[in-house]
Structure 1
């Protein structure tokens, strides 16, 4: 009985990380709901959310102005969420009629700042971006092609992580996102994504719905779009780049916030879990998101029942093997954390460390969902900050 419970929870972990992705890849080989793309140039608003981004905002705006898209069709809006540094002054100093600063007073958070900004923006297509995200010159052009298909309401691009020298989390982040992009390709072929990139998401302005300040747009926006009957698709040719986090503490903070925001967003849009109304999407959410969030719970239960089995009733070699493998995983994680402090490169070990950090973040996010209210604002850690 105890061995069976151990195998069930280990099986759930394997399903979350390997079973579901493999299933989606296999099914998508036989089903392909093509997006009808065409070259067209609707008016686009590139909306850059910013809070105290004086170090990067000038470069970001100039890079946005240089994108390969008709100048008369692309306008750049910097939405400053009550920045207290020189962010606003630097934006005002950029001499271009295509750049507009929208300052939001009161430090309301990214989501509410975007809510208010969109009330002043009239362009047909909105592209949400972050101040630290670098766009490929053709990225907006590639995103917009998808809107020639009237069934498409939102498009998410491809994020590629640059791994800075000395980053202990970069290898794991890069590998994770490559894996996620394979799943996104399969999801698009089968119909729709269930999430998008906060740093590169394009959508039809007329379909935007204001969100509560403590809800993260990256996850909730796509769910609301699906509820309205539109597809959310992945455009692999729309590339954007960000630097990976340097240390595990930075990754930890970011993951707790993102996972917690995702959980809150799913609760907000919970009707999408109705299997009778949204059968495919509810299956994807439970298999891709919810099961991943619950992996640390499965891992704790698997270890608990495995230990109990070995101590109380089992002489099975399988029980001892499973316990040994679990202990080996945690020993590798401890070793990786120790090597991180000495800046020793160990990319393969970092995969185990990254998995541990992400799953510990999920566990903390679950606890915070149950005990505290989600904040609308947060402090962003930048490269070079101590972790």
Structure 2
């Protein structure tokens, strides 16, 4: 009861301090209501579990009745493809990137490569020009003003000629049959967008790359099931995906997560979005906790930016798009709020039942104890995988919370610095 009274006193103090806000007067009454705290606790727990555990199980159950579709598209039906590569200071990877495209099995008279440099200051320009001298189907667009990836992609799409567009990052490398695998999916006229299967390289034990790889692999499977069941994959990973030219939307200025916006606009048109697990691409995963955290904050800010633009797709709530959007994305984006509510409500219920005491102190250990212990163990070169996954989960939710606050402050630019990778 002492802890409960302390929380109530603190909140009462805050309510007096912020007395201009009428809603604040309601908070002490809410805290005093054990029934409401019970509801808040269990709703928060259930919503967290639903997004991360129950929803994937639902997908696996529903997917049992769906059989894999046969591959399509004969060689004489191959469409012309535009491979679009936005880049900023990618001198360490751009040659490898172009080589991976040239080494593919897609006929060279059936594709073009468009490289857009977003005011690069390194040797990327010179490297691409060397390729242009050898290959007439490679085109370079060098922009003097730094505007961000979405604006560069918009311009490259306008300059392209392909009926199928492959949007791909400079540090993502294609397998020999990646383009062919992506293209053959479009023999189904209902499909508007196809994502690749990202194979992560450069994984190390001492950083977070192993946990990031596990998270990405799980997300790939969830998105694959969404595509199989509803044709409603919730966003490509952005490193490499294909879209019909007719379905490409103009991405709004200052966008931070353009690939999800593009995906949802395809679904809004009534087309399907899927991923092809046989269309492999390779990308290294960042091993720097700090760099990855900064990247996740940027993505989180863009997530809420997209939620504001695409909220209408949550209605009607029984539609396939709304259910997948809400279950897979929206609940996760608000995960930090649910985690805070579960912590506060379990604290308020501390003396009511042992289960809430366990929940409260368990969360304190997970949020504060495990990260500190993991940090100490890392200094001794000891890596305990479960600890690292717990730290990864909470750091991801902290990034979401910071991203939410940054979105509320306003997004004034779509420019960001790419995450340092391991290829350099």
TM-score (norm 1): 0.93
**CA, structure 1 residues 342+133, in 2 after alignment: closer, same or farther (shift >3 Å)?**
farther
Preserved CA contact (<8 Å) 1:32 1:190 = no
**Equivalent in the alignment of 2:45:** 10
Shift of 1:93: 1.0
**Equivalent in the alignment of 1:22:** 57
Q: Is 1:84 the equivalent of 2:121?
A: yes
Unmatched runs of 5 consecutive residues or more in structure 1 = none
**CA, structure 1 residues 230+169, in 2 after alignment: closer, same or farther (shift >3 Å)?**
same
Quick check: which one's helix share is greater?
2
Q: How large is the Cα RMSD of the aligned pairs?
A: 2.0
Moved more, 340-349 or 30-39: 30-39
1:134 to 146, 149, 173: 173
1:231 to 264, 272, 280: 272
SS at match of 2:195: strand
Q: Is 1:209 the equivalent of 2:246?
A: no
SS at match of 2:415: coil
**Equivalent in the alignment of 1:153:** 192
Shift of 1:324: 3.2
Preserved CA contact (<8 Å) 2:292 2:419 = no
SS at match of 1:119: helix
Preserved CA contact (<8 Å) 1:67 1:140 = yes
Give CA deviations for 1:333-371 in whole Å, capped at 9, x if unaligned: 222234445554332321111111111110011111111
Rg comparison, structure with higher value: 2
Unmatched runs of 5 consecutive residues or more in structure 2 = 1-34
Q: Is 1:302 the equivalent of 2:350?
A: no
**Equivalent in the alignment of 1:198:** 238
Corresponding pairs, count: 381
SS at match of 1:329: helix
**Equivalent in the alignment of 1:334:** 372
**CA, structure 1 residues 35+207, in 2 after alignment: closer, same or farther (shift >3 Å)?**
farther
2:211 to 159, 167, 172: 172
Matches within 5 A, 1:106-117: 106-117=145-156
Shift of 1:383: 3.0
User: Which whole-Å CA distance do the structure 2 matches of 1:235 and 1:180 have between them?
Assistant: 13
Q: Is 1:379 the equivalent of 2:417?
A: yes
Preserved CA contact (<8 Å) 1:65 1:76 = no
Preserved CA contact (<8 Å) 1:251 1:357 = no
Give CA deviations for 1:211-233 in whole Å, capped at 9, x if unaligned: 11222221000111111111111
User: Which whole-Å CA distance do the structure 2 matches of 1:204 and 1:59 have between them?
Assistant: 26
